[in-house]
Amino acid sequence: MGSGASSPVRAAVSATTAARWVERWECQQQRYAVDREERCTVIADVVEHAGRGRPGQLVLDLGSGPGALAARLAARLPGAEVLAVDADPLLLELGRAHYGDEDLRFVRALIGAPDWVDALGLDRPVDAAVSTTALHYLGRDALCAVYRDLAGVLRPGGVFVNGDHIGPDSPAIADLALDLARRHAERTMGLLHEDWESWWSGAAEDPELAPFLARSGGPGHPPCADADLPVSGHVALLREAGFAHVGTVWQHGNSRVLVAVR
């Protein structure tokens, strides 16, 4: 054997630990999206419908967290290449350890940063881009830029599917939608013992996760800069970006699935 310095061993989270923390992540996420499970199912239905007859699709999951939606899409679309895109190294590592990386590719990128599309390493047009409870953290200008970026990488006829807090245009109906969301949360809170803060606090106490928390700089997220942008605002930005057709395909209160066709 030749001599020389050995390559450093990459720290990794065990599959058992990852399974525990991914389950806790999915539990706490239910607090922040009305009927999250149904919403994810609808998103997957749209992607499957849009890609009928197109083998080997390329799909992006933006703000994927550990990758539950990305994993669902990979299972629905045999032969597809699915990229789970997130800025947090801990969440990406949990996804790799729990779901594996044969059908998924986990990519670290800060959506909206100047070079975020380059970080994806795309080698062909994208068939579908999805997101769930993630893009409302972007301000209007950043969201406009991301919509333009997506229009630039999607193939003609490709779809962008956004499941998020997107309210109606009417202030009165918007207030009603928020109240419906609050009532839904109150009905489910008793069954959910985890929230965003307790998940990150617990993760900080697990020594196996420490190397990845250190890389991320700690838990947290930017303020919800665009939480009040109504559906007409999103539609206008998407049309300006180059999407030909935009509309809602599912809604419960202020939880909405908005689809834009390139």
Instruction: Tell me: pLDDT of 42 over 90.
Output: yes
Half-sphere exposure of 202 toward its Cβ, with a 13 Å CA cutoff? 14
Which tens digits make up the pLDDT trace of 203-230? 999 999 998 988 776 555 544 554 578 9
pLDDT band per the 50, 70, 90 thresholds, residue 178:
confident
Instruction: Tell me: pLDDT of 115 over 80.
Output: yes
Tell me what pLDDT residue 9 has. Answer: 43
Which neighbouring-strand residues pair with 82?
A: 59, 104
Q: Between residues 6 and 156, which one has the greater pLDDT?
A: 156
The predicted model gives 235-261 an average pLDDT of 95
Tell me what pLDDT residue 163 has. Answer: 96
Instruction: Indicate the pTM of the whole model.
Output: 0.89
Percentage of the chain exceeding pLDDT 70: 89
Per-residue tokens: 138:
């972007």
Q: Which residues contact 240 (CB under 8 A, 6 or more apart)?
A: 144, 147
**CA distance linking residue 219 with residue 43, whole number of Å:** 27
Least confident of 150-154, 156-160, 209-213, 232-236: 209-213
What pairing do the DSSP bridges indicate for beta strands 154-165 and 255-261?
antiparallel
Which neighbouring-strand residues pair with 106?
A: 84
Q: Between residues 254 and 76, which one has the greater pLDDT?
A: 76
